[in-house]
Amino acid sequence: MEHKGTCLLETDRLYLGRFTMKDVHAVYENWAKDPHVTKFLSWPAHVDPDLTRQILLEWIESYLKPDFYQWSITLKDCPENPIGTISAVKIDEELESISIGYCLGSAWWNRGIMTETLSAIISFFFEQVGVNRIEACHDTENPASGKVMQKCRMTYEGTLRQGGKNNRGIVDLAVYSILAEEYATL
């Protein structure tokens, strides 16, 4: 793999880029404080913007590392207002594999935004970084997340019974992946 870091990416409707400290308020208001958004995630809703500020500072400092991938999702018609995030939550150099995690503010659900985002990230990792495998998983009680993976032509591999923990407790995880050889035939 040839790591590129969090590069600016563009889709038809979106910019995927780096967070700045100017984003604290939007991140906090748009998704980080919302328990509906964090229900199926492994981190709790933020109780105040100070936590959001600390996390953004860590991410911004990590942008110096070429193998750090944490994108801000913004609509082109409002690029100063992040509405979600997508990242590489795990990188396995030996397997040339990347695990993806994402979340989106509930005001922007059911508009195809996360499908458009994940599709762009999949293309970036295969075409620019040279990964062999991209995977993602979701709590089986959150089928909307699985639909995003399916729309991005990821293959359902199976369910890890009680294979994860999130804000609901210990949960079953549905695992999806796409391989470089499959992506090349799309």
**114-137 pLDDT, tens digit each:** 999 999 999 999 999 999 999 999
Q: Are strands 70-75 and 14-17 parallel, antiparallel or unpaired?
A: antiparallel
Q: What is the pLDDT of residue 186?
A: 81
Q: What is the pLDDT of residues 74-90, one digit of tens each?
A: 999 998 999 999 999 99
User: DSSP assignment, residue 69?
Assistant: -
Give residue for tokens 């809703």. Answer: 45
Amino acid letter, residue 54: Q
Q: Which residues of the chain have pLDDT under 70?
A: none
- How many CA atoms are closer than 13 Å to the CA of 172, on its beta-carbon side? 9
Structural tokens at position 52: 């959001």
Residue with tokens 């040339």: 96
Task: Show the domains of the chain with their CATH numbers.
Answer: 9-136 (3.40.630.30)
Token pair of 84 as six digits: 């979600």
Query: What's the farthest any 2 CA atoms get from each other in the chain?
Result: 46
CA 119 to chain centroid: 11
- Whether the CB-CB separation of 104 and 31 falls below 8 Å is answered with yes
pLDDT value of residue 180: 98
